[in-house]
Amino acid sequence: MIISKDNMGALADAIGATQTVYVPGTERAATRFVAHKKGEPVVLGGANVRMPPKDLLFPATEKMYRWKKHEGQLSLETEAAAHEPFTVLGVRPCDMASVAKLDLVFLTKGFVDEFYQARRDAATFVAVTCVDPDGDCFCEAMGVRLDAAPAADVLLVDRGGAYEAKPQTEKGEAAVAAWAEALGAGADAAAGDAVEAHCTLNPAAAKAEERLRAEDFDNVWHSVADYCLTCGTCTFECPTCYCFDISQDVRADEGARFRCWDSCMFTQYTLMAGNHNPRADRASRVRQRFMHKLRYFADRYGEGLCVGCGRCIRDCPAGVDIAAIIDAVATAPEHELTEAARTVQADEAKKEAAHV
Ligand code: SF4
Ligand code: SF4
């Protein structure tokens, strides 16, 4: 199905007749996905939104359950419930790749987060091929293609003045069929060739991951810690950061537990009872953030945790640049091996010796 770019507003109106549809816009002083208002124009090109669609699946603050004490009895009521269907229109390939990573965290390895799952099941994601990467984007270096978004239900391929809507899931098939019916002749448009684009930034991510497995880079973490403010902006804007804290609001005999985004850049993130803090110094927190993005997540899930969206580079008030750090690690002169790598090498040497 081919839809003229001029008809994106009409498409959002049609989807919005039966469910909430989120489109790129501006709200609370930042570009983000906002609920579409009937009759307003929708433009999917241009710079990516500052805040990723993460909060539509994993809100910054979310009530989990309530409790009540009555005549000595305690009752619990969960807030997890089926979510009303909604559509997110115009998600870039990098942000769609981040949804696939959140799925790994919240829905695999024997854990199912019922709050996340309710929203994920209710969501229809309509991705759009990216023809406007900016100078801080490096998604291709992180294995994302600008012309593909396999986790999306529908992919809109930019063909000049029009988009070709390609369904990729059963939910996507149903959505595109409904759009064709709703738009009728309005869906017809002349389509040109698919527009091709590439990132200009291309840090050596594979090499950096390999070296982070074998060497210490304490000099890198300490030099970044000299200017990082540990403000947490990078983690809150990141489409793949998923850490949260659980707190409670208690009022007399009733209360509620809620969770809210947390950041590994904060001192209190790892503060334990007894006042012990394994990551009390800034360099250890900087190390944790980059090691999680570039190595630890790959150890657990087989792929890295950065999709190269560039947000943390664009908005870091101190100028911390993950792409430059990746290259610094990839091209640094040989370092001392880490203790872990030394142990692995010693074990392998022992095994080899045993075979001789
Ligand atoms: S946004 Fe920059 S200054 Fe703030 S915590 Fe992240 S790296 Fe540090
Ligand atoms: S670490 Fe930075 S570049 Fe990578 S996904 Fe997060 S915000 Fe985007």
Domain boundary among 187, 213, 240: 187
Co-location of 236 and 278 in the same domain: yes
Query: What mean pLDDT do residues 55-65 have?
Result: 97
Pairing status of strand 123-128 against strand 154-159: parallel
Quick check: 9 pLDDT over 90? yes
Q: Give residue 337's pLDDT.
A: 66
Direct distance between the N- and C-terminal alpha carbons of the chain, in angstroms, rounded to an integer: 64
* Residues 240 and 117 both lie in one domain: no
Higher pLDDT, 339 or 50: 50
- Token pair of 233 as six digits: 């902006």
Same domain, 122 and 174: yes
In which band, very low, low, confident or very high, does the pLDDT at 298 lie, cut at 50, 70 and 90?
very high
Residue 331 falls within a domain, yes or no? yes
- CA atoms within 13 Å, Cβ hemisphere of 356: 6
Residues 31 and 172 in one domain: yes
Measured in angstroms, how far is the CA atom of residue 311 from the centroid of ligand 2? Answer: 6
pLDDT digits (tens, 9 = 90+) for 316-351: 999 999 999 999 999 998 876 676 666 766 776 776
Dig out the tokens for 273 from the structure.
Answer: 């009872």
Mutate which of 221, 236, 320, 321 to test ligand 1's pocket (most atoms within 8 Å of Cβ)? Answer: 320
Cβ of residue 267 lying under 6 Å from some atom of ligand 1: no
**Residue 334 three-state SS:** coil
- Which ligand sits nearest to residue 305's alpha carbon? 2
Domain that holds residue 216: 205-343
pLDDT at 309: 98
Q: Is the pLDDT of residue 356 over 50?
A: no
Whole-number Å distance between alpha carbons of 109 and 278: 26
The per-residue pLDDT for 186 is 59
Q: What is the pLDDT of residues 82-138, one digit of tens each?
A: 899 999 999 999 999 999 999 999 999 999 999 999 999 999 999 999 999 999 999
Beta strand ranges found along the chain (DSSP E): 2-4, 20-27, 30-35, 61-70, 73-78, 86-91, 123-128, 154-159, 162-167, 244-251, 254-261
Question: Which ligand places an atom closest to the C-alpha of 264?
Answer: 1
Q: How many CB atoms lie within 10 A of CB 119?
A: 20
349, part of any domain: no
Contact 163, 177 (CB under 8 A): no
Same domain, 221 and 323: yes
Q: Measured in angstroms, how far is the CA atom of residue 108 from the centroid of ligand 1?
A: 30
Ligand nearest to the CA of 318: 1
Residue 7 Cβ < 6 Å to ligand 1: no
pLDDT higher than 90, residue 354:
no
The pLDDT of residue 340 is: 67
Dist. CA 64–CA 256, nearest whole Å: 7
Nearest to residue 34, comparing CAs of 19, 51, 46, 22?
A: 22
With a Cβ cut-off of 6 Å, ligand 2 is lined by 237-240, 293, 306-312, 322
Residue nearest to atom 6 of ligand 2 (CA): 238
Mean of pLDDT over the chain: 94
Q: Are residues 212 and 170 in the same domain?
A: no
